[in-house]
Each structure stands twice: as structure tokens, then as C-alpha cells.
């Protein structure tokens, strides 16, 4: 029996009487979601199913649950499910029903963000490129072609999930669903255009017609909110934000735990202290449901997975790293926070509340009271000074800068967002197969460029330079443009190409004469390269490549790619005037490369004889390489180190690991030189901080999920090296905790240390009191405590984890008797 149960509480209670025994009744009121009649404080985390493998899902979900999460949130990836119109894919990592079943089996709730426009640093924001072929189509506006396709897909997903009984009312895990994504931002840009308004109202009506029995949300939709929809917040902070109506709860759909990375960028890090601060502030200010975007970021496997210029890694600095490892101290510090918040669920959602600013609006005490109990938050938004705050009972509490203290009884501080009690882990990469010393044995095969250097017809001809996405249907990154011209005698020219990107290779008479790619940020660029024409017929062949399609912004599908209109010219080197304008010559077109048609990456039997052995060429553009390797033993995640390669695509046993580009060096940004968790975190502009990897390859390591590997049998890696590189340096590594460090601020505090994947602590290296210099993994003790070292060594060495209490007996030499105890162990 289906029930619509998004009405406010009173109606919901009536409906509850008719509830099916196994179903969960979901509704809401002005304070929170209401599940089976109870207000609930919910913590959720995003895990995108195609950014990992089904084999990884149970472990990721279990870790999320152990981290104190109630729910898993995911988008739905339309272009992955419907790669060609009405041809569907629900296999492997696109088995969405299996994903939700895993969530259910773990005893967790799920949040379904259908979109189906999802942004998400995903190719075209999840919209399949074939949509463009439908006449009259305009993305995300009020028009029949788009709305029809959107409804067809939404209905398909809803029906599939209903059939599998995945909605809460059916006994399934899904308690909320989302339609569209951050459309408010588009409406702003379009000046609240009428068609935009009609579209978003249409979205809400279409969604509500689906009868899913759980409420619908729209994120970042602060104006023109349609009826029967909950508007929610996205951002690094959501304490100052409140929903439009008072009868809907305050929900935070995206608390960004870090940031995504582009090929030209270093790594973004958002500190555990700052995330904890934002979460605590949110619940201080009546928050009721918060979702981490991302809890596990994962990997953009395959060419239609990432967004424009987005790296293959979508690590996001999330609490679970790209490979599924626990990232400490982020994971543990948030888990501690979840435990405290959960213990206050009742009073936060039912209590009366009072916010009192303490002398300055930066300092606020919020007191919740219920029956005879009370709970307090004290927040300090100063980024440079701690404050002393005296509560009603006369007790004074010191609250560090940019932090929130939580006192579940208004007496004892159970949590302060700036005080980390969890260990810090330093992840290390260890050689995968110790026995391989001489590297892998490679064979190679040239990509067959010849046909497009000659008179081969291509797919069609046109006397103009065409837009790439429309021409190729985004079936490949690559589109060939080729023309020819008759010339008398030998001459030198400059070949000038104006392109909207993203990358361009130019050949003249079969010889590579130039390569260029979009400089930071913008895709439009000009290539100018010297060329020589010979007497007779000359061929100009241009290969344009996209690197993920745009996923954000109003009318983003209007953003062109490729050599749209050019001009393409041959410029006289002496007079600098145009000798030939080729823009309207007869151009012949072909999407995709020969190796893509042959599916060389699958290493098919019929192609085996094509691979060449012997000395393999290095730094040769447009070359396929193949090697076999042994899978590293054990359970630790595996990565391939591709340093030395240029740009291309990598497969293992036929599975696409994504685009690689280790030759791309990340920009030098100011944020690499400052890191202070205090103060507003931003991913753009002046707020950037705590970046790492400036001037280093933006992505050197590529995840090889364990399920792609065969144990005890040879595994095959195939590379398509487009720019030229040296595969002989490729190696495999496993990633696990290498060093674990923790601190105890006071005598009586417990220090817990743990390795990962069954590894044990091999030594305790530092046990020091007072200020410790250096970083975890390379601490230099200041005041060594022999007693502490002995106690930790006895309790920890040989164990996977251990806990030791800081005692009075832990003393160091004179002048060292007090202060924080710091311990460092090696796994």
C-alpha cells in the first residue's frame, strides 16, 4: 500500500493508524523529520555508488555506520544508467537497487537525490549527451522535450526502487528524495525568468505525482519554493540559514568535507576542527538533519564520470579516503561529535530553546530545556581569540577561538570542536609486489593515425568547422577534423587554430606539429605552430579532445567544445597576414580513435599478435602499452603509480580506471603556505588554505579496486598514452596506515592507537610531554617520558590497536613535567 506521508505531523499521525506493519512512516514538522511518530536527529553522508565498486559498498557503508551516521545519501547518475536513449545499464557499479539494499542491510536510512540534473562534478551534471539530439531540447527549463525525458527517467528510477520495495513506507531505507539540484542558483542567473519558474514548479508537481511516500526536497532553492517541497541548505556552513517556512525542518544536504580537484589544482583540505565547528553550529541553531558531501568521494572511473577538467580522483578529503580507508583524525573527531549530539536528540528536538549572545554576536550560548533537564552549546566565532563564558550556574568555561563547546547537561563540556581526541593517521604507500625489482614487461602498439592523415573519408564532410559535442555525441573524447589543400612549391607558414578546447593536436602531412590544452580555468585558446607545406596536396589534420563536459551553471549545455567556426588559418610568417583561411574548406570528420573502435583496451585475442615486444618506445604520442602484473597480496587498497606518463586512459583487466595526466603539475597557490583551521573555509579566492601538492603532479596515483584484480593470476594493464610518456616507471603500491599518533591533554585521558587492515603496531617511537615538534610520522620528542614509552610499548607493540591511560607516573626530565602527552607509533 502506498501512502503519501509528507504532510505535517497531525495528518501524519492519522495516517500512521493505517500504516502497514513493516513500513516506516516518514513525515516532518517544523523541528525535524518524524519517523514512525518520533522526531529524529539525523546524520547522513554521501557515497556515490558509481564512484566505487559493489564489492567496496558494504565496507564503506559499515564504516559510515560505525562513524555514527544514520543515513547514506546518493545522487542518481542518469548518463550512466541510460548511456544511449532507452538503452539502460543497471549492472555492476550502476546496480542502484543493490546499493540501496546494502544500505538497508546495514540498518541505515537512505536519501535518494534523483536530480536527474546532479551537478556533482559529473559529466554534463549527469545529463546524457544524447538529450541534445532531441529537437527543441533545452536543459532544465520549461519545455516539453526536456520535461518529458526527465519525467520518463525519474519514473523509471522510482518504479525500479518501488519494485524492490526500497521506499520507507514499503519497509525500505529511503526516507527522503530530492528533485533537481541547486536550481535557485540558475534562477538567480536568469533573473527569475518565467520559464525557469514554471520549470521548477513543474519539477515539484511531477515529483509529488510519483507517490513515493516520503518527502521531496530541493537544495539551494531559497526563492520561489514550490508547495509540498522542503528547501534545504548546501555549503561549508549552514548555521545562519533557515528554511522558508516554519513548518519544515532545517536540513543541510551538503556540508562539503573538502573540495573536488581539477587537473591544474593542488589538494584541498578542510580540517576536522572546522567541519566539527560547522556541524555543531548547525545543531546549535535548530539543525535536524545534516549530510556530509562527501563522506566517501571515491573515483571517477571512465570518461563520462568526471566533470570538466576534474581529476580521476574524487577523494574530496572526505572522512573515508578515495580508497575507502578511514581518514584520521577527521573520521574519529566527527564520530565523537555524532555520539554527543545523539545523546541530546530528545532535548534538541523537543526542548524549548534560548539563544543568548555574550557581549558580542560572535559568542553565543544556546540553552535547550526540557522537563527538568537542560543542554547547552557555547559557540565562539572569533577566529583569533578564546573566550571565557560564564553560564547560569556561575561556572566559567574557556572556549577556544573558532570552536563550539557542547555541554549535554549545561555543566560538563562533553565535546569541543577544536579539541581532537582521535588519532592522526599518516597513510603510506608500500611497494605492491616486493619481488618485482626490474619493473614490468611492456609491449606496445601504435595507435593507427594513418587513415586520418590521408584521403580516408571519415564519417562525413562539411564546409565548416563544427561544434564537437554535437558532432561526436560525446561518444569519445576525440574528434578528428581533416582538410587538404593544393600548394605550389615548398613554404613555411604558421598554423593558427582558434578553439573552444579542451585540447588540440595538429598534424600536417601526417607529422605532429603542435599540441596545446586549455590553460587554467578557461577552455578557449589559440594554437600557433610553425608548419611546412610541400608542393602538391597537403593534409591538415586536427584532433580535438574534450576532458569531461561542463556540469554547472545556467545553460551550461550551450558551452561549446572543439574548433567551432575556427578560424583555422595558415599565416604567412613574413608578412603575418593570412595566406589561407581554411575555416570554410571541406572538412571531413570522424569521432573516436581507431583503437577505441577496436576496443584495444580489452586485449582481445584477435589483436594479440599486434602487440610488439623488444625495446619499447618512450615519449611517443598515441601509443598503446600493455603489461601483465601480479596483484599485491592482502586486503589493503591498491594504487598504480603512473608518474612518468603523459596523458591518457588506463585499464586493468578491461576495467576503466579513468583518465590519467600525471604530467600535469598543480598550480602554485597561496593556500599551500597557510593552514589554520580558525576562520571561514573557502575553496575559492582568498579563503583558500591548507592546500597541499602545489607544484606537484596533480594526480600521480590511480586506484585499482581489488575487485578489478585477480589473485594468483596475471593481471593486464593497458594504457593509451596520448601525449607521450614512459611506462617503464609504472609501479603498484598498497595504501595503509603507516604512522599513528595521538595526544592526551590531561592526566586521566585515554590514548587510543590503531593500525589498519590487520597490521600491527611494530614500535612506539615517541612518547613525549609538553610541546612536540614536527608532524605525525616525523615527530621529534621534546621531553621524552621513559615511563610512558615503556607503558605504550608494552600495551601496543604486536597489537592492531591499544588504549593507554595518561597517568601521573608519566614524567619526563625537569622542566617537562606538565603538558600534553604525544605518542607516535609505527604500523
* Interface with ligand GAL (CB under 6 A): 118-121, 181-182, 234, 254, 260
Q: Which H helix or E strand runs over 767?
A: strand 763-769
**Angle, to 10 degrees, between the axis of helix 272-284 and the axis of helix 330-343?**
20
- The secondary structure of the chain in percent helix, strand, coil, rounded to multiples of 5, reads 20, 35, 45
- Is residue 62 within 8 A of residue 37, CB to CB? The reply is no
CA dist., res. 218 & res. 588, Å (int): 45
Rank residues 293 and 481 by Cβ distance to ligand GAL and give the closer one.
293
Please report how close the Cβ of residue 703 comes to ligand GAL at its closest, in angstroms. Answer: 19
Active site residue 182: yes
Q: How far is the CB of 121 from ligand GAL (least distance, A)?
A: 5
Nearer to ligand GAL, 260 or 283 (CB): 260
Q: Which is nearer to ligand GAL, 182 or 222 (CB)?
A: 182
Task: Give the nearest distance from C-beta 444 to ligand GAL in angstroms.
Answer: 38
- Cβ distance to ligand GAL smaller for residue 74 or 285: 74
- Contact between 114 and 76 under an 8 Å Cβ cutoff? The reply is yes
| DSSP state for residue 766 in the 8-state scheme | E
Nearer to ligand GAL, 254 or 721 (CB): 254
CB of 120 or CB of 408, closer to ligand GAL: 120
Q: Which of 149, 254, 447, 503 is catalytic?
A: 254
256 contacts 314 by C-beta, under 8 angstroms: no
Cell of 4: 503519501
List of residues 6+ apart from 814 with CB closer than 8 A = none
CA-CA distance, 195 to 191, in Å (whole number)?
11
- Residues 6+ positions from 324 with CB-CB distance below 8 Å: 52, 56, 59, 60, 63, 296, 637
State whether residue 139 is helix, strand or coil.
coil
- Cβ 233 to ligand GAL, closest distance in Å? 11
Distance in angstroms between the alpha carbons of the first and the last residue of the chain:
54
Of 509 and 688, which has the nearer Cβ to ligand GAL? 688
Nearer to ligand GAL, 82 or 182 (CB): 182
Question: Least distance to ligand GAL from the beta carbon of 219, Å?
Answer: 6
What is the distance between the alpha carbons of residues 25 and 213, in angstroms, rounded to a whole number? 8
Contact partners, residue 247, CB within 8 Å, separation at least 6: 8, 29, 30
CB of 127 to ligand GAL, least distance (A): 13
Shortest separation between residue 333's beta carbon and ligand GAL, angstroms: 21
Residue number with the shortest CB distance to ligand GAL?
A: 119
Closer CB to ligand GAL, 234 or 379, in the complex? 234
Q: Residue 122 CB, nearest distance to ligand GAL (Å)?
A: 8
How many Cα atoms within 13 Å fall on the side-chain side of residue 545?
20
Q: Copy the grid coordinates of residue 387.
A: 573566550
Q: By the 8 A CB rule, do 619 and 725 touch?
A: yes
Cα–Cα distance for residue pair 609/616, rounded to 1 Å:
16
- HEC secondary structure over 503-566: EEEEEECCEEEEEEECCCCCCCEEEEEEEEECCEEEEEEEEEECCCCCCCCCCHHHCCCCCCCC
* Closest-CA residue to 533 (of 574, 575, 572, 505): 572
User: Whole-number minimum distance, CB 282 to ligand GAL, in Å?
Assistant: 17
CA distance 732 to 432: 5
Question: Among residues 182 and 722, whose Cβ is nearest to ligand GAL?
Answer: 182
Pick the closer one to ligand GAL by CB: 557 or 765: 557
Least separation in angstroms between CB 178 and ligand GAL: 10
Quote the strand ranges of 391-477, DSSP E.
Answer: 396-399, 403-407, 415-416, 424-431, 442-446, 460-462
Helix intervals (H) in 633-713: none
Active site residue 82: no
Q: How far is the CB of 257 from ligand GAL (least distance, A)?
A: 10
432 Cα distance to chain centroid: 26
What SS3 state is found at 416? strand
Report the sign of the C-alpha dihedral through residues 488, 494, 500, 501, in that order. Answer: positive
Identify the active-site residue in 102, 182, 721, 743: 182
Q: Please list the alpha-helical segments (H only) found in 48-93.
A: 57-66, 78-81
Instruction: Provide the annotated active-site residues.
Output: 182, 254
Amino acid at each position: 500500500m502506498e501512502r503519501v506521508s509528507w504532510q505535517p505531523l497531525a495528518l501524519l499521525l492519522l495516517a500512521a493508524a493505517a500504516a502497514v506493519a513493516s513500513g516506516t512512516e516518514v513525515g516532518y514538522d517544523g523541528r525535524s523529520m518524524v519517523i514512525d511518530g518520533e522526531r529524529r536527529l539525523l546524520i547522513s553522508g554521501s557515497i556515490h555508488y558509481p564512484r566505487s565498486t559493489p564489492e567496496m559498498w558494504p565496507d564503506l557503508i559499515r564504516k559510515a555506520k560505525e562513524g555514527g551516521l544514520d543515513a547514506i545519501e546518493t545522487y542518481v547518475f542518469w548518463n550512466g544508467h541510460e548511456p544511449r536513449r532507452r538503452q539502460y545499464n543497471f549492472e555492476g557499479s550502476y546496480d542502484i537497487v543493490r546499493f540501496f539494499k546494502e544500505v538497508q542491510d546495514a540498518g541505515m536510512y537512505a536519501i535518494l537525490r534523483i536530480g536527474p540534473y546532479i551537478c556533482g562534478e559529473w559529466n554534463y551534471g549527469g545529463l546524457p549527451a544524447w538529450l541534445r539530439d532531441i529537437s527543441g531540447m533545452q536543459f532544465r527549463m520549461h519545455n516539453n522535450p526536456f520535461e518529458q525525458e526527465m519525467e520518463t527517467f525519474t519514473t523509471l528510477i522510482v518504479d525500479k526502487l518501488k519494485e524492490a520495495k526500497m521506499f520507507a513506507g514499503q519497509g525500505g531505507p529511503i526516507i527522503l528524495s530530492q528533485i533537481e539540484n541547486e536550481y535557485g542558483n540558475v534562477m538567480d542567473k536568469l533573473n527569475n525568468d518565467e520559464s525557469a519558474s514554471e520549470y521548477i514548479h513543474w519539477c515539484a508537481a511531477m515529483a509529488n505525482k510519483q507517490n513515493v511516500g516520503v518527502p521531496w526536497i530541493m537544495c539551494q532553492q531559497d526563492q520561489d519554493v514550490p508547495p509540498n517541497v522542503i528547501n534545504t541548505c548546501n555549503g561549508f556552513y549552514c548555521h545562519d540559514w533557515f528554511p522558508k517556512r516554519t513548518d519544515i525542518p532545517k536540513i543541510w544536504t551538503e556540508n562539503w568535507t573538502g573540495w573536488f580537484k581539477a587537473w591544474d589544482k593542488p589538494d584541498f583540505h578542510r580540517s576536522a576542527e572546522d567541519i566539527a565547528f560547522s556541524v555543531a553550529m548547525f545543531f546549535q541553531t535548530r539543525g535536524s538533519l545534516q549530510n556530509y558531501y562527501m563522506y566517501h568521494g571515491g573515483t571517477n572511473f571512465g570518461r563520462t564520470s568526471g566533470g570538466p577538467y576534474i581529476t580521476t580522483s574524487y577523494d574530496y578529503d572526505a572522512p573515508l579516503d578515495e580508497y575507502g580507508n578511514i581518514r584520521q583524525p577527521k573520521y574519529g573527531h566527527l564520530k565523537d561529535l555524532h555520539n554527543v549530539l545523539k545523546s541530546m536528540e530528545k532535548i534538541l528536538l523537543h526542548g524549548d530553546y534560548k539563544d543568548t549572545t555574550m557581549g558580542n554576536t560572535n559568542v553565543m550560548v544556546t540553552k535547550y530545556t526540557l522537563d527538568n533537564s537542560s543542554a547547552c552549546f557555547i559557540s565562539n566565532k572569533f577566529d583569533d581569540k578564546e573566550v571565557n563564558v560564564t553560564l547560569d550556574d556561575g561556572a566559567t568555561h574557556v572556549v577556544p577561538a573558532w570552536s563550539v563547546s557542547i555541554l549535554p547537561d549545561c555543566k560538563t563540556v562533553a565535546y569541543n570542536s577544536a579539541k581532537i581526541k582521535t588519532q592522526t593517521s599518516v597513510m603510506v604507500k608500500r611497494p605492491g609486489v616486493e619481488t618485482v625489482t626490474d619493473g614490468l614487461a611492456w609491449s606496445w602498439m601504435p595507435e593507427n593515425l594513418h587513415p586520418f592523415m590521408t584521403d580516408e573519408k571519415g564519417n562525413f564532410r562539411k564546409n565548416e568547422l563544427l561544434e564537437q559535442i554535437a558532432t561526436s555525441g560525446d561518444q569519445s573524447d576525440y574528434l578528428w577534423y581533416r582538410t587538404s589543400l593544393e600548394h605550389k612549391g615548398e613554404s613555411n607558414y604558421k598554423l593558427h587554430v582558434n578553439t573552444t578546447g579542451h585540447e588540440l593536436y595538429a598534424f600536417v602531412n601526417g607529422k605532429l606539429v603542435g599540441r596545446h590544452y586549455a590553460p587554467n580555468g578557461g577552455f578557449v585558446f589559440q594554437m600557433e605552430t610553425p608548419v611546412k607545406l610541400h608542393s602538391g596536396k597537403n593534409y591538415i589534420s586536427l584532433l580535438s579532445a574534450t576532458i569531461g563536459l561542463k556540469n554547472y551553471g545556467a545553460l551550461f549545455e550551450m558551452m561549446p567544445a572543439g574548433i567551432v567556426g575556427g578560424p583555422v588559418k595558415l599565416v604567412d610568417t613574413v608578412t603575418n597576414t593570412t595566406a589561407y583561411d581554411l575555416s570554410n574548406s571541406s572538412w571531413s570528420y570522424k569521432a573516436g580513435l581507431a583503437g577505441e573502435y577496436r576496443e584495444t583496451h580489452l586485449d582481445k585475442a584477435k589483436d594479440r599478435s599486434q602487440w610488439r615486444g623488444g625495446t619499447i618506445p618512450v615519449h611517443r604520442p598515441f601509443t598503446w602499452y600493455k603489461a601483465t602484473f601480479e596483484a599485491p597480496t592482502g586486503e589493503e587498497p591498491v594504487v598504480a603509480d603512473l608518474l612518468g606518463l603523459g596523458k591518457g586512459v588506463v585499464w586493468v583487466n578491461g576495467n576503466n580506471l579513468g583518465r590519467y595526466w600525471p604530467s600535469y603539475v598543480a598550480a602554485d597557490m597561496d593556500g599551500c603556505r597557510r593552514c589554520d583551521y580558525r576562520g571561514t573555509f573557502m575553496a575559492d579566492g582568498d579563503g583558500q588554505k591548507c592546500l597541499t601538492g602545489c607544484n606537484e603532479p596533480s594526480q600521480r596515483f590511480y586506484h585499482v579496486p581489488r575487485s578489478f584484480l585477480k589473485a594468483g593470476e596475471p593481471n593486464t594493464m593497458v594504457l593509451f598514452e596520448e601525449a607521450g610518456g614512459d611506462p617503464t616507471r609504472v609501479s603498484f603500491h598498497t595504501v595503509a596506515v603507516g604512522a599513528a599518533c595521538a595526544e592526551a591533554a590531561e592526566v586521566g585521558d585515554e590514548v587510543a592507537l590503531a593500525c589498519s587492515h590487520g597490521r600491527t603496531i611494530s614500535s612506539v617511537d615517541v612518547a613525549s610531554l609538553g610541546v612536540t615538534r614536527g608532524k605525525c610520522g616525523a615527530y621529534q620528542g621534546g621531553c621524552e617520558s621513559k615511563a610512558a614509552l615503556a607503558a605504550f610499548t608494552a600495551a601496543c607493540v604486536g597489537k592492531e590497536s591499544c588504549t593507554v591511560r595518561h597517568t601521573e607516573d608519566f614524567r619526563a626530565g625537569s622542566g617537562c613535567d606538565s603538558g600534553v602527552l604525544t605518542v607516535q607509533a609505527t604500523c
